Structure 1
Amino acid sequence: MKRFLGLLKREWQLQYKWIFVACVFSIIVTVGIPYLVNKYIDASIDQNNVTFIMATILSIFTFLIVSVQFVKNLNRELRHADIWLHSTAPFYELIGAKLIFSLFSNLILVLLTTVVMVVAVSIEGKMTIVQDIKFMFVVNYLSTSMLVSALSLTLLLNTCYLYLKKWLGRFAMIVVMLLLFLISYGTHKITNYGLYSDFFLNGPKTNGWINRFMDPIIQVFHSDFFIEDLYLREDILSWLVTLIIMIFSIKWCEKVVKE
């Protein structure tokens, strides 16, 4: 445990600057731009509404920013693979520290944007602290869920790229993009099979509590937000598939680095 905490501390020392920059960027996008638009372009625009929309968009796409940073940081260190090969920590801890730190980074950025959203809502209408906390929790839950799936797929594709790069050079990127397309297409086809629908798109739903937590905040701006058809069986399947891809990707990445 002490060794793993040391790896997390090292990640912080390597990446705290980009987190700071990302936080400043988030504040500029969610607060600064709506203020400037309202003050210098069109005073009739509801500044709080625009702030809420900008913060919502940023919250949705934060997981993509974190995934890109994860790959960038990983590849930078893999250029000096001898450091990893001579490390006393097992490979899964080295990768795991980066994955956990990515989740931590995502949590900080999404918390920042949800605080901005809650402040914008509070100016427009009275919300209880419990409603604010519920809203912040569900936004972080959704963002974290997307990030975990994105990180597993990102690690798989990046490992595939590193492996193919030895043989194909720059053309490896084209192959990886084709692989991503095939994965997306295959997932779409599988989830539209009747057998899949009959088994996984039945039973208890998990979207009810999400809608209840978000609806009071959304309605302040006279908008609607409703997530349909989230099923417990499909959620469990998604988490299992993500875990399998993650384990496979870590093992494959270790093999590629050691070759």
Structure 2
Amino acid sequence: MKTWKGLWKKEWQMMRGWLSATTVIAILLIIVSSSALSFLVEGKLVVSFMLGISLMMMTLIVVCVPVSLLLNSLWIEWNRPDVWLHSPQTIYQLFGCKTVFASVIGFVSMIVPGVTLALYASIFDASITEVGVAKFIGMMYTFISSVFLGAVGLMLIGLFLAVVYRVIKSYVRRGAFFIWLIVLFILMWLFQTALESKLYQKIVHLGQFSTYTDSRNISVGNFYFAQSTMALYAGQIFVVVGFLAFLFVSSAWLFEKKVRL
């Protein structure tokens, strides 16, 4: 526990300046952009329109928060072998702390658009009255969970691709970026091939255990959120968790090999 507490404290001290600056810039960007677009489209400041634009921008920003935070944290320590070689913690602990820290910060930032959407819908969209408190909370849970899972997936994909690039660059000084692009296209082709395979389709449709029977839409200005009828499978969860775990483990393993070159 002391190990994780120390790593967490180090991560917070190292990244709090970046977090503060990013928060201020994001707020200013959202306010200025939503106001400008409202004037351009509506000819005046329209609260619902501005709120819709703000929600869209907040959603896009918070999806990028974990991957941006993680890669910035790694960027600071990429070329510091003392951090990786002489630390009493393993590479998996060091990577794990950075990943968990970025995920938690990302989740906290996702509460903002979630709460904003909930407040607007409860006051103006009459969603609580129509669907009930329990189902409305379920909708907010679906919204935040979807955004969070997307952000975590993007973060781990970004981590893997960044590490692959660093490994390639350690071997090839010139043209590393073009080789990385070739590797990226190959990985995308393999990924697409796997998604279209019959084995994948069989695995992801194993163990159906929950179905949402109600569909519900919330519209806030230009922001549109829909909860559609869907089935959830144990196979889907297994594949997603396995894929994300593979990205993390392979990233840490590759980076450790790169550091020890």
- Shared topology, TM-score over 0.5? yes
Instruction: After TM superposition, list the pairs within 5 Å mapping 1:85-164 onto structure 2.
Output: 85-128=85-128, 133-164=137-168
Residue of 188, 194, 198 corresponding to 2:192 = 188
Q: What is the aligned partner in structure 2 of residue 16 from structure 1?
A: 16
- The structure that is strand-richer by fraction is 2
Is 1:166 matched up with 2:167? no
**C-alpha RMSD of the superposition:** 3.1
Residue of 247, 250, 253 corresponding to 2:252 = 250
- Counterpart secondary structure, 2:141: helix
Structure 2 residues not aligned, in runs of 5+: none
The alpha carbon displacement at 1:251 in A equals 1.9
Q: Mark the CA change 1:31 to 1:23 in structure 2 (over 3 Å): closer, same or farther.
A: same
Q: What is the aligned partner in structure 2 of residue 6 from structure 1?
A: 6
Does the 8 A contact of 2:67 with 2:158 survive in 1?
yes
Q: Mark the CA change 1:170 to 1:74 in structure 2 (over 3 Å): closer, same or farther.
A: farther
Q: Mark the CA change 1:106 to 1:7 in structure 2 (over 3 Å): closer, same or farther.
A: same
Q: Mark the CA change 1:184 to 1:175 in structure 2 (over 3 Å): closer, same or farther.
A: same
- The structure that is helix-richer by fraction is 1
The alpha carbon displacement at 1:31 in A equals 4.5
Calculate percent identity across the aligned residue pairs: 19
Does the 8 A contact of 2:35 with 2:50 survive in 1?
no
Q: Mark the CA change 1:66 to 1:92 in structure 2 (over 3 Å): closer, same or farther.
A: same
Normalization by structure 1: what TM-score? 0.81
- Counterpart secondary structure, 2:173: helix
Does the 8 A contact of 1:23 with 1:109 survive in 2?
no
1-structure distance, mates of 2:16, 2:78: 19
Aligned partner letter, 2:161 = L
The alpha carbon displacement at 1:13 in A equals 0.9
1-structure distance, mates of 2:103, 2:23: 15
The alpha carbon displacement at 1:239 in A equals 0.9
Does the 8 A contact of 2:212 with 2:231 survive in 1?
no
2-structure distance, mates of 1:198, 1:95: 33
1-structure distance, mates of 2:59, 2:177: 28
Structure 1 residues not aligned, in runs of 5+: none
2-structure distance, mates of 1:150, 1:38: 30
1-structure distance, mates of 2:194, 2:212: 25
1-structure distance, mates of 2:194, 2:61: 26
2-structure distance, mates of 1:207, 1:253: 41
Q: Mark the CA change 1:196 to 1:41 in structure 2 (over 3 Å): closer, same or farther.
A: closer
Q: Mark the CA change 1:44 to 1:204 in structure 2 (over 3 Å): closer, same or farther.
A: farther
Q: Mark the CA change 1:28 to 1:233 in structure 2 (over 3 Å): closer, same or farther.
A: same
